[in-house]
Amino acid sequence: MFVISPSDLCKKSLEFLEQTYLPMQKASCEFALAHSDNIPYPAELSAARNGICTASGILLSEAQLLDILALYPVARAKLTAFSWEDTEVQGVVLDAIADFFLSSTWPTFGDLVDHDAYFLRLRKAAKFLGHSVLVED
């Protein structure tokens, strides 16, 4: 997944825009549109639910995860077309979870963030929105 801020995008050359960024964006959009009606198999939903729980402590039902993924068609399409074991799939699904609960991206190891503090806030947001969490904070 490739996300670029407006300020960073404006710093890039038009050559970068035309030769790199727009072709990637087009491929992503075409992929999402081609798979927009697909629904992940139960095994993939289960793997994603387990991965989300392991990473964050948020317990989602299959229906809750499907509802969230309905708002993030690229994440749903990638989970459908590939598998949870694919690190790019994990990234887009976890970003969808972070965005849904906190309007944030999922932290990476390159981010200068206190991961414990971040995930505490993520669990608080999930609980506030009526979802179950593994550990009561």
Residue boundaries of the structural domains of the chain:
1-34, 42-133
33 or 53, which is more confident: 53
Confidence of residue 46 (pLDDT cuts 50, 70, 90): very high
Which of the four pLDDT bands, split at 50, 70 and 90, describes residue 32? confident
Read off the DSSP letter of residue 108: -
Identify the band that residue 111 occupies on the pLDDT scale cut at 50, 70 and 90: confident
> What is the pLDDT confidence band of residue 2, given thresholds at 50, 70 and 90?
low
Helix runs in 1-137, H state only: 6-11, 14-16, 22-34, 42-56, 62-70, 73-81, 87-102, 115-128
User: 55 pLDDT exceeds 70?
Assistant: yes
Report, as an integer, the average pLDDT of 51-72: 96
**Distance between CA 20 and CA 122 in Å, rounded?**
33
pLDDT higher than 90, residue 3: no
Give me the percent of the chain exceeding a pLDDT of 90.
76
- Is it the case that residue 26 has pLDDT exceeding 60? yes
The number of CA neighbours under 13 Å toward the Cβ of 8 is 5
- Give CA–CA dist 122/24, Å, rounded: 30
pLDDT above 60: residue 1: no
Tokens of 76: 């749903």
For range 26-52, the mean pLDDT: 92
Q: What is the mean pLDDT of residues 56-74?
A: 95
The DSSP element (H or E) to which 59 belongs, if any, is: strand 58-59
Distance from C-alpha of 135 to C-alpha of 34, rounded to nearest angstrom: 38
Average pLDDT over residues 79-98: 95
